[in-house]
Structure 1
Amino acid sequence: MDTGTHIVMGIALGGLATLDPVVASSPVTATSVMIATIVGSQIPDIDTVLKLRNNAVYIRNHRGVTHSIPAVILWPLLITAVIYPIFLEANLLHLWLWSFLAVFLHVFVDIFNAYGTQALRPFTNKWVALGIINTFDPIIFSMHIIAILCWIFGSNPGYTFLTLFIVLIGYYLLRIFTQRQVKINVKKKIPNATEVILSPTMRFNHWRIAVMTDDSFYVGRSHQHEIEIYDKFHRIPIPNTPVLAAAQKDKNLSAFLSFSPVFRWEVLELDDQYQVRFIDLRYRSNGHYPFVAVVHLDLNLNIITSYTGWIFSEDKLKKKLDILTN
């Protein structure tokens, strides 16, 4: 989820904690728990700082080790170790417990996004991405804001946020059912589909669709359960050519391939260099596929420059590559 949603979820969890008799009976414990749930709802995303290095490092590692099973165990211990010395009268066990719930909830809800997490590390590095909830869901965020306002205006925080979480469970179940129905409709449209990847949007009944068959990729959308296919691409495996073999040694393309399950590729021979481009098919927007990896090589197959990330026009891509070259 986005940062704002994680923050309001942390506040909601801190309010829910007032139903815990130990927390409710101690203002010091209640204060420390509220701080811990807000921090715990944010701390797995500390790896966002990797974006300051470059996109390749960020794509390969964001929501990786910081969202893993060991991290879910270690983050609450770290939070408790930092907060407890400031609030020595707080109940240590319950401070840790609510810290753990905050961290766990953060990782758990991220699994429902299309981006996903490597939540099962160290057992597997596979990305767990259910594609049910958009990274920012206005309904989820709005429900939290309404509940927080009710608390501000005097409602009981424990029961207010308990009601919120019960409603959220129902909303998630509704989204799961809706996604399942969209997949059924897609398979009716494309009976030979071997895999259907859905990416939710901020609109409840609007989904991006990427479909794989044995020989093709289809890209489209579902709106109000109506399936519309925009593009069809012949599915061509990456051949073992010298140009593509050299390009795949590049860190940006390697990061792209570690993240993207549905893509097409192309090789262009320019005046004095090759351009290798890989295009993720999951994020079609206004007729454009903005998530790409591009590698330029000279005629001796040495990498000149490369880039991976979001590019919404050829001019911006050219400027980005020129900057990296210089």
Structure 2
Amino acid sequence: MVFVQIAVWSALLSLWCSSHALKTLDDQDAADADAVARCYSGPEQSVWELVMGKQIDIGAASSTLELAKKAGVGPGMNGVELNCNNGGGMRTLVRLAGVDSMIGVDLTKSVVETGKKRTEEEGLSDKIKFINKNSLENGLPDASADFVYSKDAWCYMPDKQLIIDQAARIVKPGGKVMFTDWIEGEGLSNPEAQRFLSLMTFPAIPTVKEYAQMLEKAHFEVEVAENSGRFSPAMDSYVHMLKLQAVYDTKKLLGWDDEAYDKLISDFEFMAKLAREGKIIQGMFVGRKKDVHREM
């Protein structure tokens, strides 16, 4: 019965994806690796930390712990985070979920250096290591991790399948991939998608179903593929912070440029509107790597 259900699920995914085109940014050069690195080496990183905290993802520690619980990740496990930014999620998993060790990979040198410093300050350098490389060229051994993790970071990858394939390569058979990401909900028009992708430096935005299909293609059994429900409340909170609570700090980060501040507010209000309308959501995913040889 389980195999029949999986076959039906796969057939439905294939049928749906054949009639739905993944929305991509028209100007792909505006969202290449150098463009992303520039964003996270400048004031944008600081603005996100101002509204989100040092973990820089929707839901931060509470979301990470929810994800770990759904995936069964905890003590005795060793993990890898692909696109780890400053490693806030890794510190959460080690300190609050009891994970034994983590290796984080990120291309942007400045956030890796910040991550190393914060990890050292917390006395966790013996458990958390950083690699300053493209996550697709991480050099980690095959089948070496109990789980692969990411929080709201694969949105920066032009080809999501490639990063999921890396997760599949690194994780042991029976191990887990667990991640969240900013994804398309319902009713997002192409003009809205182009504005959103451009202001966020995202090359493409998949849906829940498209990500689930990618996981299956990489030989993961999909255990969780859902809307986390966290995106809209979070965006409303960020708008409140920027407009009412942290005006001085925000303008300082932007070099007292009123025009840049007004644009920032406009962009966040636009994203909050998309969130309230369910057009952009945070997806939450857990997959178990199949032991292909055993299941054959």
TM-score (ref. length: structure 2): 0.22
TM-score (ref. length: structure 1): 0.21
